Structure 1
Amino acid sequence: MSRNGLKIGGTFLSAGTCALAGCALLVRPRLLTWGATPEEVARTYPGDHLIAEAHSSSTMATTLPAPPEEVWPWLVQMGCDRGGWYSWDRLDNGGRPSARRVVPDWQSLEEGQRLSAVSSGRAWFTVAVHEPNRTLVLRSDVDLRSGRSFDIRAEPLPRAYVDSLWGFHLEPAPGGRTRLVVRGRGRSRPRPLTRAADVLFWEPAHFIMQTRQFHNLRERVTARV
């Protein structure tokens, strides 16, 4: 290739890199804080302390047309081995439709209980904080080499892992509604690789799945109003 060709190619590469960087600076903050107010983003929520030095964090929110005591039963029955996740079921519930009604058998939940994160049962969430009608925080610790969950208290830790929190926080809103704030926090290693994965894949994927869950929860609680 001629020098001019190399120069033109380098110019296009630099321009593309700058465009991607600019897109990340403009779009990424909106993905991580979709629907949340600045006050909600800045607030500390129950369970945040479990990952005090998080590498990543997101705060997303929506308002649901039912009081917290009517939203809570839908959250407490989540899990692949229970009512599903109310998101894109083909992606996170083995293709099985998430529950469209509150099931009494799935209303019992306690801290330390495991909820299957995937249909295979290889990975799970552990209930970390459980305050009925107020807060549900789920914790997931996954060995990235095997794709299996592990006990974060075990030593030594896997060489490559992710430790994450998925917290659901409910507050009464005017008109008998609920403000649902979802806080995500995580840490992982090896950080040079997991940071790239966070920005390029996990954060956009979480946005897609979380906004779908908001939509489906709104549909379900509306049907009961």
Structure 2
Amino acid sequence: MNTVLKSSARMGLLAAGIAAATYPLLLRRRCLTWGATHDEAGSVLPGDELLPGPCLVATRAVTVDAPPGAIWPWLVQMGSGRGGAYTYDWIENLFGLDMHSADEILPQFQGLKAGDVLPLGATGPRMRAQVVEAQQALVFQSEDGNWVWAFILRPEGETTRLISRNRIAAPDAGPLGRLVTLLIMEPDSLIMERKMLLGIKERAERLARIG
């Protein structure tokens, strides 16, 4: 029995080692640029100037079969105790973020303006709206300055490209922290953000059909 356990442990370590070596080489770029074109991933977007020289940039995107006006209301009502994040609420709420994804436009949260602060749960970072350009760009920055999250809307004929960009600095992260971010946080962020973008897409397209 001990031999089997030792063999399983070795196999587990080997698999982890292979994953650690493979992800940066073969999968990381796809993880950090899911859905985005080469030009979108490489372009300068509103909000980039708020955090120069980040240690991590993730640009993800989706095509929405709706005009910007059908997408914008879902973006401005995002947040804890507001419209949620349109992703896996049960995962968000394991961390006490109080996320409950709305399936309707909430008029009381449509007046977002630059300078407004949105908390992410009771103990999460407070995000301040830095850029609010209706139906074009919505950019938040954490109050410690280490996280910038931008949503950009680019019309393309009868569709709209919804682009999400995260710029993150981790000035106090040591080697272990960087490894955890690389192998755990980055793939996890893709799972959550992909669900969010598709959730906004579904809601916006439904709204456009009704409208």
The 1:199/1:106 distance shift into structure 2, 3 A limit, reads same
Q: Distance in 1 between matches of 2:106 and 2:43?
A: 33
Higher Cα Rg: structure 1 or 2?
A: 1
Q: Distance in 2 between matches of 1:57 and 1:105?
A: 32
Partner of 1:139: 141
* Structure 2 unaligned blocks of 5 or more: 1-8
Using the size of structure 2 for normalisation, the TM-score is 0.84
Partner of 2:166: 184
2:187 to 204, 209, 213: 204
In the alignment, is the contact (CA less than 8 A) between 2:85 and 2:99 conserved in 1? no
Query: When the two structures are aligned, how many residues end up with a matched partner?
Result: 196
Higher helix share: 2
Partner of 2:80: 80
Partner of 2:155: 172
1:46-77, CA deviations, whole angstroms, 9 ceiling, x for partnerless residues?
11011111111011110011100110011011
For residues 64-143 of structure 1, the aligned pairs below 5 Å read 64-93=64-93, 94=97, 97-118=100-121, 120=122, 122-141=124-143
Post-superposition shift, 1:19?
A: 5.1
Q: Distance in 2 between matches of 1:51 and 1:96?
A: 26
In the alignment, is the contact (CA less than 8 A) between 2:32 and 2:190 conserved in 1? yes
Q: Distance in 1 between matches of 2:81 and 2:14?
A: 48
Amino acid at match of 1:91: I
Post-superposition shift, 1:16?
A: 5.9
Q: Percent identity?
A: 36
Post-superposition shift, 1:217?
A: 1.1
Q: Distance in 2 between matches of 1:121 and 1:132?
A: 29
In the alignment, is the contact (CA less than 8 A) between 1:81 and 1:115 conserved in 2? no
Q: Distance in 1 between matches of 2:39 and 2:23?
A: 25
Amino acid at match of 2:142: S
* Structure 1 unaligned blocks of 5 or more: 1-8, 142-150, 153-162
Partner of 2:5: none
Name the structure, 1 or 2, with higher relative contact order (CA <8 Å, separation 6+).
2
In the alignment, is the contact (CA less than 8 A) between 2:79 and 2:99 conserved in 1? no
Look up the SS of the partner of 2:169 in the other structure: strand
In the alignment, is the contact (CA less than 8 A) between 2:136 and 2:154 conserved in 1? yes
Say whether 1:50 aligns with 2:33.
no
Post-superposition shift, 1:18?
A: 4.8
